[in-house]
Amino acid sequence: MPKEEIILGIDPGFGRVGWGVIKKDAKGEWRELGFGCIETSAKKSFVERISQIHEELINLIKKYKPTRMAVEELFFFSNVKTAIEVGQARGVILLTGVENNLPIDEFTPLQVKQAITGYGRAEKDQMQKMVVVVLGMKVKIKSDDAADALAVALCAGQSLWVKKIK
């Protein structure tokens, strides 16, 4: 494991892609470096939207210099068209990580909830509260997508710790 671990967590989508970056501090605690959403306009073509996601992810990687990426796996969609589009956007997200030589961890929503709250069926508000507490944040996370991305990054961080002690 690199001396300084910085994890870029991603909650995939194509209208909104949540992102969150965490880093281990001197005390060994994970701290938030930044979070937000990449939002694409429904007025643009799908190709323009996934291109925007790719470009904005590259900018985030340049800015925060993560040492790895963690991406949430797709879970369930009742709308097949949406599932396909999110799957394609997720492919662009994964490819962007690979192009930037980032190891990529993938986690199901159940794994993320279990890692953050200890309960795989936790509600969104429980997740958000735990993310804020664990990261020692002073601000409330207004975006569910950004909160989910930080949770995915934290799940990856905990996974690294588990791998290290094995």
Active-site choice (32, 105, 145, 148): 145
- Of 113, 21, 22, 20, residue with least CA distance to 75: 113
Asked if 52 contacts 85 with a C-beta cutoff of 8 angstroms, the reply is no
Active site annotation includes 25:
no
Model confidence at 8, pLDDT cuts 50, 70, 90, reads: very high
Share of the chain above pLDDT 90, in %: 74
Active site annotation includes 72:
yes
Active site annotation includes 145:
yes
User: Which conformational region is residue 17 in: left (phi greater than 0), alpha (psi within -120 to 50 degrees), or beta?
Assistant: beta
What is the model's pTM?
0.93
Model confidence at 160, pLDDT cuts 50, 70, 90, reads: confident
Q: What's the token pair of residue 96?
A: 């962007």
> Which domains are delineated in the chain?
6-165 (3.30.420.10)
Active-site choice (72, 85, 105, 148): 72
Distance separating alpha carbons of residues 128 and 40, to the nearest angstrom: 23
Active-site choice (11, 32, 56, 148): 11
Q: What tens digit of pLDDT does each residue of 119-144 get?
A: 888 888 899 999 999 999 998 899 99
